[in-house]
Amino acid sequence: MNAIATKVSSVSTLPSAAELDRALRDASPQEVVAAALKAVGREKLALLSSFGTESATLLKVVADVDPAIPVIFLDTGWLFEETFAYRDKLIAMLGLKDVRSVRPTEETLSREDPDRDLWFSDPDACCRIRKVEPLARALKPFSAWLNGRKRFQGNARADIAVVEDDGTRLKFNPFANVSREELEAIFVRAKLPRHPLAASGFRSVGCMPCTSRTAEGEDERAGRWRGRTKTECGIHTMKIS
């Protein structure tokens, strides 16, 4: 048993986010994923992945620990076709065994976005019905979840802990401490494919209406919700019950 595993096993049966964060603050991404798995077990742990431009790295780390850890993919109804192709390619390459596509309900879409223009008039509401609410539904069976946020992405992500309490369950950020250079090293070392849109200037890929290319020198997330003060879709800033 390595030092990280020893620290995790020394906390209570239901470890708190603070306890785990203290134990894992200097841990590698793989050690964080392994600790999350040990803390709650595979049936209670899920990974949220957008299968975006940087997603392959965390998916690779998770697959190396246990490729059967459930992966939640939010199919918002506005994704690029290239993202679906990338998802399928990574599933096959990494041997992911349990990828679950989750969509907003037709009832909600008919009631709140019948003309499919909510993204323009109220992007926060659009993200709520297409991401936040479907994720809350998908996470109900789980006690903890993994996501790919990194401190170097800035804004609301600049000070994230390795482990947080989202009010309902444990939230693990295995890449909180990872640098851009370390992320690139994982891509190169594992020979991971790039998102098909990355070569044409999309450094961060979300929904089609709210994603644009970034110019040289811009922040990598500058192409998300361009021209608005919005920087997050809400899944990390709204309460997921």
- How far, CA to CA in Å, does 161 sit from each of 24, 92, 101, 109, 205? 10, 32, 27, 34, 24
- How far, CA to CA in Å, does 54 sit from each of 77, 145, 191? 21, 18, 13
C-beta of residue 174 within 8 angstroms of C-beta of residue 24? no
Residue in the block written with tokens 């995790």:
8
C-beta of residue 4 within 8 angstroms of C-beta of residue 24? yes
Give catalytic residues, as residue numbers: 233
Residue among 125, 135, 165 at smallest CA distance from 46: 135
Among left, alpha and beta (phi > 0; psi -120 to 50; other), residue 136 is alpha
| Amino acid symbol at 75 | D
Residue in the block written with tokens 């200097």:
26
